[in-house]
Amino acid sequence: MIDHAPQPFLNNQTYARIKPEILQSLLDYGHFHVPTGGFLEAVLCNDLHGACSQADDDNLPELPNIVKFCYNELRGDCWGSPEKVKAWLLNVRCPRPGETYMDSGPHTDIMAGELRVTKVTAERSAV
């Protein structure tokens, strides 16, 4: 999970029943190009069949609201087709030095240019 400034959409009742980890994953994807899991990748790729088949019992009824979140809160060039998602993930924007990257999952380190993203902070590296 990446620390973010407070977001005004968090008071939006449309998103109130979406699991917080889903919202956080979408924010991490949209802000820092962090890959999502299979369900959200299908949503981001505009793959209805894939999203419905991979959704759990909590996410399936919230699928319309998750799509509304993507439409209203994410940049248009980062979602909507597999090509856009692939391009977004290849254009990695890692946290700047000093920004925290507090990951709750088992992500491996991400390398991009001169920045090395660790599970705690981004550091300059000589890679």
Give Cα 80 to chain centroid, integer Å. Answer: 14
Q: Phi, psi (5° rounding) for residue 101?
A: -130, 90
- State the average pLDDT for the chain: 76
What is the pLDDT confidence band of residue 12, given thresholds at 50, 70 and 90? confident
**104 and 118: one domain?**
yes
Sheet of 110-112, strands arranged across: 110-112, 115-117, 122-124
**74 and 108: one domain?**
no
**75 and 124: one domain?**
no
**84 and 122: one domain?**
no
**14 and 65: one domain?**
yes
Indicate the pTM of the whole model.
0.67
Task: State the residue range of the domain holding 105.
Answer: 94-127
pLDDT of residue 79: 96
pLDDT of residue 47: 98
What pLDDT digit, counting tens, does each position of 63-78 carry?
999 999 999 999 999 9
**20 and 74: one domain?**
yes
**9 and 33: one domain?**
yes
User: Total domain count for the chain?
Assistant: 2
